Chains A and B, each alone.
Chain A
Amino acid sequence: MNGSKIVLFTGFLGSGKTSLLLRCARNLAEIKKSSAIIVNEVGEIGIDNLQMKKMGYTVWEIFGGCICCTLSVSLEDTLTQLMTNYELDYILVEPSGAADPSAIYPALSHSGFSKENIRNVMILDPTRIEMFEAVLEPYLAASVPLADFAVINKIDVATAVEIKKTERVIKQYHQDLPTVQIDVKQLLNEQIQKIIGG
């Protein structure tokens, strides 16, 4: 394995993963760090990879073929190719927002990435937190404990009550999880550094 660090941008569809990932990629480029982007989003909020390519980012798309399979079946292949052909400081990965993020760890481990080289940034949308608790509680219970850092996004449109509730939900599943509140459109460089984790 080379010295690349993986940053996972996890979270449910529509939480703002793509926007945050792009902001982080741009920031890394500004500070002369090399990065690649891997996306695995099949759904109504798919990544506009052409736009990302136009912006100069290397984008690797990975898809399963089965209509019901949201797993990143070729993630390991993609990682191997990246590590063989590039010297990268960061690999930014956006797994499917519909998948259980625990499924991705065996692939990362098999590719030689230890826990210390993986940072799981979970993005939450506070405007939908009540729906998450009522409908998708198992998803929260599986995802939040795996996170290394939580981002409460959309604070420009969420109410104070929704933000407070999101904080409570995070604490319920992961007591000591460091958290930052952001409006991805107004992201500060210091916030990005916190998110990426230096």
Chain B
Amino acid sequence: MMKTNPIFDERLKKVQAVINHENEHVLACFMGQAVPPTYSDITLAKYMSDTEVGLKYYIDFVNRINDIAPVDCINFAYPGAHQAALSLIWWSKVKMPGEELGENDIWQVDEKKLIQDGDYELIIKEGSAAVMNRILPQIIDMKKIEQFFEYHAKDEMIAQQYTDAGYPVLNSGLICPPFETLCGGRSMTAFFMDCYKKPDLIKEAQDVMLEEQLKMIASRPDRDYVIGEWIGGWRGASGLVSPKIWDNLVWPYMYKLALALIERGITPILHLDQNWDRDLERFLELPANKCIINTDGMTDLRKARKVLDNHVAFMGDVPSQMLTVSTPDEVKDYIRRLLDDIGAKGVILAAGCDAPTGSKFDNLVAIHEVAQEY
């Protein structure tokens, strides 16, 4: 059982109020997993590899913003064991700072065609582990997978540190729809060709993967510190794939994963990169006041408000480019124009997608400062 404190409790209530559209004011949420080293005496490599030290630097950095303007919550916590997490969901090699990359270079996905011909059939016959267990040793040192599980065995202790610091963390897990995992493992060009030539085979494989995920979600022990979990969508964006593909291979899976989380009392946080305008009304199929959609500036939130009204909460959507090159006044102006149009109900202000390492400190602060006006 987590030990809470008055600041945390008050902020947690605010988070719940936003999800229920009962809030009076917007929430200001920190998102910027890789930013702290830019403004600290630690390299990105050390920050990522030494999880104990990295976590401390992360919380210290959030505190520095909070000292200037309130940080009501955190979207994603410190990215401990991040390489393994990404490899597990994306089935691609992730190059890391201090290893394949320079000490302060941001991690990069090195996508290659690792799902071979016959692997969809193998997934259908034997389950996704049959393919994943072959791919993983090709993309990551398996000791890092062990370390990932060791790190996450301490999740409750880690969560307590955020609680002690007064920050509810919105996302406590990554759920990757099968479409995205297969796209990463097969590589983008080959996967889209497969979607054209053998969509039924992909669907059958995705159905097997979905069943595995639903069982996993249903059987996990309860964790009282969990507010929400990330369901990612990027290669399946409405702005990229045709309606036939989206209706058949993307949305049904995101939808069922979201329902499974809701069933467990967990808020699905649908991380929607690129443009999802075409299919916004489909989000009305989700239960009301149970989900957050996290957009990156490319989905039109004004349209989203019109279509979805108060059905889902909105998180975002300060474009990541703005954080690196604009001025704090420009960031504030962007947010004011947005909030003047869509209002504060159910809105969580945050960097769209993620804040780049080169984000200006003052721009990150600006999000939290301007939130106090609404």
> Is the CB–CB distance between A76 and B321 below 8 Å?
yes
> Is the CB–CB distance between B354 and A65 below 8 Å?
yes
Per the bound structure, the CA–CA distance linking A43 and B108 in Å amounts to 9
Most chain B CB neighbours (cut-off 10 Å) among A76, A107, A130, A135: A135
The answer to the question of A87 belonging to the interface, with a C-beta cut-off of 8 Å to chain B, is no
Most chain B CB neighbours (cut-off 10 Å) among A46, A98, A130: A98
Band of interface residues on A: 35 or more
Per the bound structure, the CA–CA distance linking A72 and B324 in Å amounts to 11
The answer to the question of B113 belonging to the interface, with a C-beta cut-off of 8 Å to chain A, is yes
> Is the CB–CB distance between B108 and A42 below 8 Å?
yes
A64, A67, A137: the one contacting B242 at CB < 8 Å is A137
Q: Is the interface of A mostly helix, strand, loop or mixed?
A: loop
The answer to the question of B168 belonging to the interface, with a C-beta cut-off of 8 Å to chain A, is no
Per the 8 Å Cβ criterion, residues 208-245 of B in contact with A are 232, 234-235, 238-242, 244-245
The answer to the question of B369 belonging to the interface, with a C-beta cut-off of 8 Å to chain A, is no
Tell me how far the C-beta of B92 lies from the nearest C-beta in chain A, rounded to whole angstroms. 8
Asked if A63 meets B106 with Cβ closer than 8 Å, knowing A13-B188, A68-B273, A69-B354, the reply is yes
Count of chain B residues with a beta carbon within 8 Å of a chain A beta carbon: 50
Chain A 54-80 near chain B by CB (<8 Å), digits 1 or 0: 000000000111111111111111001
A13, A75, A128, A138: the one contacting B239 at CB < 8 Å is A138
> Is the CB–CB distance between A76 and B242 below 8 Å?
no
The answer to the question of A32 belonging to the interface, with a C-beta cut-off of 8 Å to chain B, is no
Complex interface: stretch among B131-139, B192-200, B282-290, B302-310: B192-200
Hey, which chain B residues are within 8 Å of A44, CB to CB?
A: 111-113, 187-190
The answer to the question of A161 belonging to the interface, with a C-beta cut-off of 8 Å to chain B, is no
Hey, which chain B residues are within 8 Å of A3, CB to CB?
A: none
B94, B193, B353: the one contacting A69 at CB < 8 Å is B353
Per the bound structure, the CA–CA distance linking A134 and B197 in Å amounts to 10
Hey, which chain B residues are within 8 Å of A77, CB to CB?
A: 324-325, 358
Asked if A75 meets B108 with Cβ closer than 8 Å, knowing A13-B189, A134-B242, A136-B192, the reply is no
Per the bound structure, the CA–CA distance linking A95 and B187 in Å amounts to 18
Most chain A CB neighbours (cut-off 10 Å) among B111, B113, B321, B354: B321
The answer to the question of A45 belonging to the interface, with a C-beta cut-off of 8 Å to chain B, is yes
Asked if A68 meets B232 with Cβ closer than 8 Å, knowing A77-B358, A139-B240, A142-B239, the reply is yes
Per the 8 Å Cβ criterion, residues 128-151 of A in contact with B are 128, 130-131, 134-139, 142
> Is the CB–CB distance between B238 and A67 below 8 Å?
no
> Is the CB–CB distance between A135 and B192 below 8 Å?
yes
> Is the CB–CB distance between A66 and B192 below 8 Å?
no
B86, B196, B273: the one contacting A130 at CB < 8 Å is B196
Hey, which chain A residues are within 8 Å of B94, CB to CB?
A: 67
Per the bound structure, the CA–CA distance linking A99 and B239 in Å amounts to 10
Tell me how far the C-beta of B20 lies from the nearest C-beta in chain A, rounded to whole angstroms. 28
The answer to the question of B163 belonging to the interface, with a C-beta cut-off of 8 Å to chain A, is no
The answer to the question of B13 belonging to the interface, with a C-beta cut-off of 8 Å to chain A, is no
Tell me how far the C-beta of B175 lies from the nearest C-beta in chain A, rounded to whole angstroms. 13
> Is the CB–CB distance between A138 and B188 below 8 Å?
no
A43, A71, A110: the one contacting B325 at CB < 8 Å is A110
Asked if A134 meets B188 with Cβ closer than 8 Å, knowing A65-B106, A68-B271, A68-B353, the reply is no
Chain B 115-131 near chain A by CB (<8 Å), digits 1 or 0: 00000000000000000
The answer to the question of B65 belonging to the interface, with a C-beta cut-off of 8 Å to chain A, is no
Per the bound structure, the CA–CA distance linking A197 and B106 in Å amounts to 35
Per the 8 Å Cβ criterion, residues 34-67 of B in contact with A are 34
Tell me how far the C-beta of A116 lies from the nearest C-beta in chain B, rounded to whole angstroms. 22
The answer to the question of B356 belonging to the interface, with a C-beta cut-off of 8 Å to chain A, is yes
Closest to B187 in A: A44
> Is the CB–CB distance between A131 and B192 below 8 Å?
yes
Hey, which chain A residues are within 8 Å of B278, CB to CB?
A: 138
Per the 8 Å Cβ criterion, residues 98-115 of A in contact with B are 98-100, 103, 106-107, 110
Closest to B240 in A: A139
> Is the CB–CB distance between B245 and A135 below 8 Å?
yes
The answer to the question of B275 belonging to the interface, with a C-beta cut-off of 8 Å to chain A, is yes
Hey, which chain A residues are within 8 Å of B188, CB to CB?
A: 13, 43-44, 98
The contact sample of 26 A-B pairs, CB cut-off 8 A, is A13-B189, A42-B109, A44-B113, A44-B188, A44-B190, A46-B110, A64-B354, A65-B33, A68-B273, A68-B353, A69-B234, A70-B234, A73-B320, A74-B356, A80-B325, A98-B188, A110-B325, A131-B192, A134-B242, A135-B192, A135-B241, A138-B238, A138-B240, A138-B241, A139-B239, A142-B275
Interface residues of B (CB under 8 A from A): 33-34, 86, 90, 94, 106-113, 187-190, 192-193, 195-197, 232, 234-235, 238-242, 244-245, 271, 273-275, 278, 296, 298, 319-321, 324-326, 353-354, 356-358
Apart from A100-B239, A139-B240: 7 A-B pairs, beta carbons within 8 A: A44-B187, A65-B357, A68-B271, A69-B353, A73-B321, A77-B358, A130-B196
